[in-house]
Amino acid sequence: MSQQLSEQERIRREKLQQLVELGMDPYPAPLYPVNTTAAYIKAHYENGVNDAEFETVCLAGRLMSFRDMGKASFAVLQDSTGRIQLYVRRDDICPGEDKTAYNTVWKKLLDIGDIVGVKGFVFTTKTGETSVHVKEFSLLAKSLRPLPVVKEKEGEVYDAVTDPEFRYRQRYADLIINPEVKETFVKITRLKNAIRDFLNERGALEVDTPVLQSIPGGAAARPFGTHHNALDMPLYLRIANELYLKRLIVGGFDWVYEFSRNFRNEGMDRTHNPEFTVLEFYVAYKDYHWMMEITEQLFEKAALAVNGSTLVRSGEHEVNFRAPYKRITIYDAIKEHTGKDISGMDEEGLREVCRELNIPVEPSMGRGKLIDELFGEKCEHHYIQPTFIIDYPVEMSPLTKKHRDKEGLVERFELIVNGRELANAYSELNDPLDQRERFEEQSRLMERGDDEAMYIDQDFLRALEYGMPPTSGIGIGIDRMAMLLTEQPSIQDVLLFPQLRPEKP
């Protein structure tokens, strides 16, 4: 099928052909001797003080604007670090009789978006702007598709590209024309590095576990399925890496962690994407009280690493990640926000409460799911400052150790920040007989139609039978954490390539 080209795209292809006819390669070999960046020049050049360091500079990037002044012109080049002004004079780049390089190539055949390399020296213009006086330029890649035009004057941006469909689908263009987007992802890398440093300094070991799994375990979620041809067997993309990390604790590691790319075949909204990143770590001989303390320390360090402060703006709220964080049981939270004491209620009593509070529920939901719906609908959004919701009912937590003091509860917490769950942690269940019973109860829920109930993982049960030491574990939603720390309203804004529907032809 022939490609439908716009007028601008046809013109750029014609220019491409003219460049070839002039003997120029519009896509030359990749080696180009870059020795500096726009940001470095702007940060370190001092007019008349350190000129020697900047007598010969070589940098490369995209042309973002042109201003023709006849025998000279100004342009703006954008590299990976920012933008800098170029000054190009005809007689400098064409010292002989042949002025083709300037009059034809530079002025007529180059376009905004083209990638060029320039060599020259740094100077300060009469208006005080640090610039590069170009003595030589090279075309490194011809751009055949025009960028959306974004104008800026005296600090004001005009015609900014804000359409989410365009920005998420063409992230490459979004990164070019909205430089602040790149800073968001630089901060996310800083976040992950800070977490790695925090864990490594304490003796944790980073590991990798399978993405393709024969049983999708470790969470209550609907998996993506696939098929392995050579083994002729179904496989699933992991919904969590929990059960594999616990196997490593059985095997003798005391503290393991993994940044896990997880996949869940569920709905999409501003806080959910079918592909997302979770940090999970498991520590032998620790419990959920210790885990709350280490989690506070980790989040405080992460906030400082990303923003230099524990304070973060989120809409109309200011969130403070400085430890310690409030703790409240899930039953007390529900009582506080609904007036209902559900601590001794059976499944039918919980259904009645949901009906009274106009919370829709399904026949397949057991006691745990009903409590989860109550908390999610009526309580969660009230917790703006970091808060540990603790001591969950056993029905909600099939992988969690029973509470040492409270019958019917488990030693579990969720960290809620800005009305959203950011982390989920337990004193891990290490009793293989109890774990088998919990899995069997999940199997019964699956038979009732709960497509998020957990599968029975016989190999994991076998591992537990060898003996797993007392252990605490946690899962932290890295994308939601990144949303908060970079002040982004949607998970799509912290994913370089979020999932979208296919484009219409």
- Which residues are known binding-site members for Mg(2+)? 414, 421
What amino acid occupies position 450? D
For residue 233, the tally of other CB atoms under 10 A from its CB is 9
Helix or strand run (H / E) with residue 49: none
Rounded Cα distance between 258 and 473, Å, is 12
Contacts of 324 (CB under 8 A, 6+ apart): 293, 296
What amino acid occupies position 85? Q
Phi, psi of 431 (to 5 degrees): -90, 110
Q: Are 27 and 40 in contact (CB under 8 A)?
A: no
Please state at what angle helix 288-307 crosses helix 179-201, rounded to 10 degrees.
140
Going through 98-214 in order, the beta strands assigned E by DSSP cover 115-124, 130-141, 151-153, 156-158, 205-206, 212-213
Angle of CA points 132, 48, 137, to nearest 5°: 15
Structure tokens that stand for 156 in this block:
């004001």
SS3 category, 156: strand
Rounded Cα distance between 180 and 327, Å, is 36
For residue 407, the tally of other CB atoms under 10 A from its CB is 7
DSSP string, 200-255: HHTT-EE----SEESS--SSSSPPPEEEETTTTEEEEE-S--HHHHHHHHHTT-SE
Q: Are 283 and 471 in contact (CB under 8 A)?
A: yes
Rounded Cα distance between 274 and 238, Å, is 11
Going through 264-316 in order, the beta strands assigned E by DSSP cover 275-284, 311-314
Contacts of 469 (CB under 8 A, 6+ apart): 249, 284, 285, 430
Phi, psi of 320 (to 5 degrees): -115, 115
Binding-site entries: 414, 421
Rounded Cα distance between 63 and 381, Å, is 46
Rounded Cα distance between 171 and 165, Å, is 10
DSSP string, 484-495: HHTT-SSGGGG-
Query: Dihedral angle at the C-alpha atoms of 310, 311, 315, 316, nearest 10 degrees?
Result: 140
